[in-house]
A and B are shown apart, each in its own frame.
Chain A
Amino acid sequence: MKRADLQSNLAMTVTLIMGAMLFTTLFMGYAIYRSASTYWPPMGFAKVALGLPTFSTFLILVSSLFCYLARVATQARKVEKARLYLHLTLILGLAFMLTQGFLWSHLKATGVYVSSGIFASILYGFTWIHAAHVILGLGTLLYLEIVLKNTSDSTIRKVINVEKFWHFLGIIWLIMYFTIFVL
């Protein structure tokens, strides 16, 4: 492997470990809150309707697929195709953020306010922190929109790293979907 590729891989791996540690801490806290309470959701709250979160999950997973295709196309030196998939990834990413907005206003409409206790704290807090990372991810996708004009080694490295980060966000969301909304 060329040194630049190795450096890029290593740095991205360390970055993803850092992100994973941040979310692991959150999930560890969640596990403790869940196991410490007799009722979940706590009295006075109902489970969140699964429709909207399921739709968000679908959006972010499909965007991950497009991101993968964008990387494959870049490596196959097909810039036009890669850019098309990149646009699709970006659009679906924005759509995911939109559904998150709907989720928050839906929660508010059903009487789950930010300050209504630990159940609401987790619903809002965790999705906010994830959304903040998604915004960061959208930023990197926008950056690719600018630099993905050729298929030089350096561009390929950038696409690979953004792809990894985007999959990471998808995986974190998937874990959140199953542990917070489904379970």
Chain B
Amino acid sequence: MSGGYNEIHPEPTTFISKYLISFDHKVIAKQFLWYGIFFLGLGGLMALLIRWTLAYPGVPFPVLGNLLFPDSAGIVPPDSYAMLFTMHGTIMIFYAITPILIGAFGNYCIPLMIGARDMAFPMLNMLSFWFAFLSGVVLITSLFLPLGAASGAWTSYPTLSTMIGSPGAGQTFWCVAIFLFGISSTMGAVNYVTTVITLRAPGMGYFDMPLTIWGLWLTAILNAIFVPVLGAGVILLTLDRVLGTTFFLAGASATSGSGDPVLFQHVFWIFGHPEVYILILPAWGIVSDLLSFFSRKPAFGAKSTALAMTAVTVLSTLVYGHHMFTTQMSPLLTQSFMTLTMTISIPSAIFFANWLGTIWKGSIRFDSPMLFSLGVVFVFGLGGLTGLHLGTVTTDLYLHDTYFVVGHFHYTMAASVLLGGFAGIYFWFPKMFGKMMNEKLAKLHFWGTMIPLNGVFFGMLMIGYGGMHRRIYNPFVYDSLKRLIPINEFVTISAILMGLFQIVFVINFLWSLKKGPKAPNNPWEVGTLEWTIPSPPVHHNYDEIPVVKCGPHELGNPNLKTGRDFQYQTEELVQG
């Protein structure tokens, strides 16, 4: 194949065309990275406010309290508390994880790792970022509305999210923001799917793609199919709120027809369950690659890892009902959903075993990206195993809506994706900015994140198992929960510690950006295509489109006579 959108575009010259409305996937990736890091900080601050309230109810939040809540002397008020956990969830999922993992790494890695000069549709890519930006503006604006932002949780179940449960414009702004973000995500999805299919370098079959690209590609497919489902849901919710329809309002008599609040839950989770895989698949892909790169070994069963991820992608569309076991679903349905949910363990166990097989007997280099990847293996293992309790109907009936659920999904979505994201940032920073990050600070950041992180999320599992509900403002008015005060304090202190250690990352990031030592072309000594070109790459990435001759994980080949222990994908596989 030739022609099409893989030509060398002239380099932009003005500030606006270079940095603002840039069509260059590398610049758009950086825009998404900054955007995501900004919202990660905001969502993290909200998390600290939530944790403070749960451990020290009625005590003013230190330092920022009086600034944020002047009317209540620095104490988080109950209505603001509901708003905080709603916005924390929304921001972290849609405005932090999605832009960093999918927006930044997707944009940066896909063209570079498959040997393309840009995305298939550069302008659509630019629009995707600016729609996300607009959406972020709408969401932030909603924080300053008279009745505050949305407070019906990130799931926005009616009737909490109808005009009865949430008067004021906050929830409507939320719907609009999510719809705009959906447009951005689906634009990205069109681009990613098309790019991976049509712009792979000559010689690169699907199984010669790095697993990072597999993860991002499967994510894009899920995005394209399921984000519109949420889109339909929030349109109907907006119509209910603004124009007076009654799609999700129960109450009218049986004869005159009635809306159905539970229908929204179905629509939400038909999207919502694939969404959690949308978030985790890129992290799985990145980790699958990095474990191999830093163990100096080929990825164990790379093909089966790719196929297992594909199987999870397919299965993820069939299990959404396990979020709704307590909605009086028919037992026939709950058991079907339970069985399908348990089936996901099989492909998950396959690639998990492959990860362990990859590091087994490797000559492991404990550089920071590897530390974070190993961290993902640990926390995702815990998150996956606690998922079994929630996917099983009998135990879920007890654990539903407790902090156990919060602990579980933070282990899978927050911890795994956060650590995976950091692994990616430390790994690709040299390529992105042409500078090296400080390795000592990176390791400090890892341990400072990893240890308190487990304190936070394992603590959540325990208080959940102890019976604490996930959305109460002050748990200690209940006698049965008083004994959980010490663990709640422990969780909060861990969260504050973890928050403080993120400052190390910010300092390292900004300092390295300015003063970091210049990065060589291939600092980690790996063979995928992006490391064959200068750091940072030139505007059109590749002067000559590379020809791929071997897979992405050819490390530690004993037949290599080149003095390196790896070979580039552009080199013929060395045989014995």
User: CB within 8 Å of B: which residues of A?
Assistant: 2-4, 6-7, 10-11, 14-15, 17-19, 21-26, 29, 32-33, 36-44, 114-115, 117-121, 124-125, 128-129
User: Contact: A7 with B235, CB < 8 Å?
Assistant: no
Contacts of A4 in B (CB 8 A): 3-5
Cα distance A17–B225 in the bound complex, in angstroms: 7
Contacts of B193 in A (CB 8 A): 10-11, 14
Also in contact, A22 and B252, with CB within 8 A (given A3-B3, A7-B5, A10-B193): no
User: Contact: B228 with A29, CB < 8 Å?
Assistant: no
User: Contact: A6 with B198, CB < 8 Å?
Assistant: yes
Number of A-B contacts (CB under 8 A): 131
B270 close to chain A: CB less than 8 A: yes
User: Contact: B232 with A118, CB < 8 Å?
Assistant: no
Stretch of B131-139, B255-263, B352-360, B445-453 on the interface side: B255-263
Which of B189, B257, B260, B263 interacts with A40 by CB under 8 Å? Answer: B257
Cα distance A39–B246 in the bound complex, in angstroms: 17
Can you add 11 more A-B contacts, CB < 8 Å, to A38-B254, A118-B252, A121-B239? A6-B4, A7-B121, A11-B193, A14-B193, A18-B225, A26-B232, A29-B267, A39-B255, A44-B256, A124-B243, A125-B239
26 contacts between A and B (CB under 8 A): A2-B3, A3-B3, A4-B3, A6-B4, A6-B197, A7-B4, A10-B194, A15-B190, A18-B189, A22-B229, A25-B228, A25-B232, A25-B233, A25-B270, A29-B236, A29-B247, A29-B260, A33-B263, A41-B257, A42-B255, A43-B256, A114-B244, A114-B245, A117-B258, A119-B257, A129-B235
Cα distance A23–B246 in the bound complex, in angstroms: 18
Also in contact, A33 and B3, with CB within 8 A (given A17-B225, A114-B243, A120-B245): no
User: Contact: B263 with A115, CB < 8 Å?
Assistant: no
User: Contact: A22 with B228, CB < 8 Å?
Assistant: yes
Chain A residue at smallest Cβ distance from B257: A42
B27 close to chain A: CB less than 8 A: no
User: Contact: B5 with A18, CB < 8 Å?
Assistant: no
B1-30 interface bits toward A, Cβ cutoff 8 Å, 1 = contact, 0 = none: 111111000000000000000000000000
User: Contact: B5 with A124, CB < 8 Å?
Assistant: no
Contacts of A114 in B (CB 8 A): 243-245
User: Which 9 A-B pairs give the minimum distances between C-beta atoms?
Assistant: A3-B4, A42-B257, A121-B245, A115-B244, A25-B232, A4-B4, A22-B228, A21-B228, A118-B257
Cα distance A25–B225 in the bound complex, in angstroms: 11
Return B323 CB to nearest CB of chain A, in Å: 17
User: Contact: A43 with B224, CB < 8 Å?
Assistant: no
User: Contact: B255 with A25, CB < 8 Å?
Assistant: no
Cα distance A42–B239 in the bound complex, in angstroms: 21
- In this complex, the interface size class of chain B, counting residues with CB under 8 Å from chain A, is 35 or more
8 Å CB contacts to A: which residues of B246-295?
246-247, 252, 254-260, 263, 267, 270
B379 close to chain A: CB less than 8 A: no
Contacts of A124 in B (CB 8 A): 243, 245
Return A23 CB to nearest CB of chain B, in Å: 8
Cα distance A90–B255 in the bound complex, in angstroms: 42
Chain A residue at smallest Cβ distance from B255: A43
B120 close to chain A: CB less than 8 A: yes
User: Contact: A22 with B231, CB < 8 Å?
Assistant: yes
Chain A residue at smallest Cβ distance from B2: A3
Contacts of B231 in A (CB 8 A): 22
Contacts of B235 in A (CB 8 A): 129
Contacts of B263 in A (CB 8 A): 29, 32-33
Also in contact, A14 and B190, with CB within 8 A (given A3-B2, A22-B228): yes
Chain A residue at smallest Cβ distance from B226: A21
Contacts of B197 in A (CB 8 A): 6, 10
Contacts of A18 in B (CB 8 A): 186, 189-190, 224-225, 227-228
Cα distance A151–B227 in the bound complex, in angstroms: 35
Return A137 CB to nearest CB of chain B, in Å: 16
Return A13 CB to nearest CB of chain B, in Å: 9
User: Contact: A11 with B194, CB < 8 Å?
Assistant: yes
B204-243 interface bits toward A, Cβ cutoff 8 Å, 1 = contact, 0 = none: 0000000000000000000011111101110110011001
Which of A11, A24, A29 interacts with B190 by CB under 8 Å? Answer: A11
User: Contact: A21 with B255, CB < 8 Å?
Assistant: no
Contacts of B191 in A (CB 8 A): 11
Chain B residue at smallest Cβ distance from A21: B228
Cα distance A7–B3 in the bound complex, in angstroms: 11
User: Contact: A33 with B228, CB < 8 Å?
Assistant: no
Chain B residue at smallest Cβ distance from A27: B232
Contacts of A121 in B (CB 8 A): 239-240, 245-247, 259
Return A170 CB to nearest CB of chain B, in Å: 19
Cα distance A21–B227 in the bound complex, in angstroms: 9
Cα distance A138–B270 in the bound complex, in angstroms: 31
User: Contact: B247 with A118, CB < 8 Å?
Assistant: yes
Cα distance A2–B232 in the bound complex, in angstroms: 35
User: Contact: B260 with A2, CB < 8 Å?
Assistant: no
Contacts of A120 in B (CB 8 A): 245
Chain A residue at smallest Cβ distance from B232: A25
User: Contact: A7 with B120, CB < 8 Å?
Assistant: yes
Cα distance A123–B231 in the bound complex, in angstroms: 19
